[in-house]
Amino acid sequence: MDERLLITVVMSPPALQHDSDGDACITIESAIGSETVVLNIESGVTDSGTVTNSKPGSTNMADAVRKARDAFNRGVTKPVEWRRKQLKALKRLYEENRQAMVDALRQDLRRSKTEAILLEVDYLINDLSNTIHCLDEWIKPERPSKGFVNLLDDVVIHNDPYGVVLVIGAWNYPLQLLLLPMTGAIAAGNAVIVKPSEVAVACNKFIVETLPKYLDSDAVVVVEGGPQETTELLKEKFDYIFYTGSTSVGKIVYEAATKNLTPVTLELGGKSPVYIDNTVDIVVTAKRILWGKFINVGQTCIAPDYILCTKEVQAKFVEASKKVLKEWYGEDPQKSPDLCRIINLRHFTRLQAILDNSKDKIAVGGKYDAQDKYIEPTILVDVSPTDKAMEDEIFGPILPIVPIENAYEAIKFINEREHPLVLYVFSTQSNIQKLFNDQTRSGSISMNDTVMFYAVETLPFGGVGYSGMGAYHGKATFDTFTHKKSCLVKNFAVIGEKLASNRYPPYSDSKLNFVMALMRKRHTPSLKFLPYLVAFAFGAGLTYGIVAWNKITSEDL
Sign of CA dihedral 229, 231, 235, 239: positive
Sign of CA dihedral 221, 226, 227, 228: negative
The answer to whether the beta carbons of residues 159 and 142 sit under 8 Å apart is yes
Return d(Cα 358, Cα 370) in angstroms, integer. 18
Specify the pLDDT at position 493.
85
Specify the pLDDT at position 532.
67
Kind and range of the H or E run holding 71: helix 61-73
Which residues of the chain does CATH 3.40.309.10 include? 273-462
The answer to whether the beta carbons of residues 306 and 271 sit under 8 Å apart is yes
Return d(Cα 194, Cα 215) in angstroms, integer. 12
Contacts of residue 349, Cβ cutoff 8 Å, sequence gap at least 6: 370
Q: How is the chain split among helix, strand and coil, in percent rounded to 5?
A: 45, 15, 35
Known catalytic residue: 267? Answer: yes
Return d(Cα 154, Cα 160) in angstroms, integer. 18
Specify the pLDDT at position 529.
63
* DSSP at 437: H
CB burial of residue 209 (10 Å; 0-12, 13-18, 19+): exposed
The closest alpha carbon to 252, from 481, 7, 11, 45, belongs to 11
User: What is the pTM (predicted TM-score) of this model?
Assistant: 0.84
Return d(Cα 384, Cα 437) in angstroms, integer. 25
Q: Which of 25, 203, 301, 340 is catalytic?
A: 301
CA atoms within 13 A on the CB side of 384: 6
CA atoms within 13 A on the CB side of 13: 7
Specify the pLDDT at position 223.
96
Return d(Cα 349, Cα 346) in angstroms, integer. 5
Q: Which of 224, 236, 267, 393 is catalytic?
A: 267
pLDDT in tens, the chain (557 residues): 333 333 333 333 344 444 444 444 433 333 323 333 333 333 333 333 333 333 444 468 999 999 999 999 999 999 999 999 999 999 999 999 999 999 999 999 999 999 999 999 999 999 999 999 999 999 999 999 888 777 788 899 999 999 999 999 999 999 999 999 999 999 999 999 999 999 999 999 999 999 999 999 999 999 999 999 999 999 999 999 999 999 999 999 999 999 999 999 999 999 999 999 999 999 999 999 999 999 999 999 999 999 999 999 999 999 999 999 999 999 999 999 999 999 999 999 999 999 999 999 999 999 999 999 999 999 999 999 999 999 999 999 999 999 999 999 999 999 999 999 999 999 999 999 999 999 999 999 999 999 999 999 999 999 999 999 999 999 999 999 999 999 999 888 888 888 888 899 999 999 899 888 888 887 766 556 666 677 777 777 778 777 777 777 776 65
Specify the pLDDT at position 293.
98
Written as one letter, the residue type at 528 is K
Q: How many CB atoms lie within 10 A of CB 548?
A: 10
Specify the pLDDT at position 22.
44
The closest alpha carbon to 266, from 421, 463, 24, belongs to 463
Contacts 24+ apart (CB under 8 A), 100-106: 100/206, 100/210, 101/175, 101/203, 101/206, 103/202, 104/174, 104/175, 104/200, 104/202, 104/203, 104/205, 104/206, 105/174, 105/175, 105/202, 105/203
Specify the pLDDT at position 556.
60
The answer to whether the beta carbons of residues 26 and 44 sit under 8 Å apart is no
Burial string for 431-468 (b: 16+ CB within 10 Å, else e) reads ebbebbeeebebbbbbbbbbbebbeebeebbbbbbbbb
Residue 274: strand, helix, or coil: strand
Written as one letter, the residue type at 211 is L
Query: What's the CATH code, domain 62-268+478-482?
Result: 3.40.605.10
Contacts of residue 427, Cβ cutoff 8 Å, sequence gap at least 6: 275, 276, 277, 279, 280, 407, 433, 447, 448
Specify the pLDDT at position 24.
42
The closest alpha carbon to 181, from 237, 264, 107, belongs to 264
Q: Choose the CATH number for 273-462 among 3.40.309.10, 3.60.20.10, 3.40.50.10880, 3.40.50.2000.
A: 3.40.309.10
Specify the pLDDT at position 476.
97
The answer to whether the beta carbons of residues 221 and 228 sit under 8 Å apart is no
Specify the pLDDT at position 408.
97
Which residues of the chain does CATH 3.40.605.10 include? 62-268+478-482
Specify the pLDDT at position 247.
92
Specify the pLDDT at position 59.
62
DSSP lists the bridge partners of residue 445 as 423
Sign of CA dihedral 449, 454, 460, 466: positive
Tell me the Cα Rg of the chain.
Answer: 29
Written as one letter, the residue type at 115 is E
Return d(Cα 25, Cα 45) in angstroms, integer. 11
Known catalytic residue: 301? Answer: yes
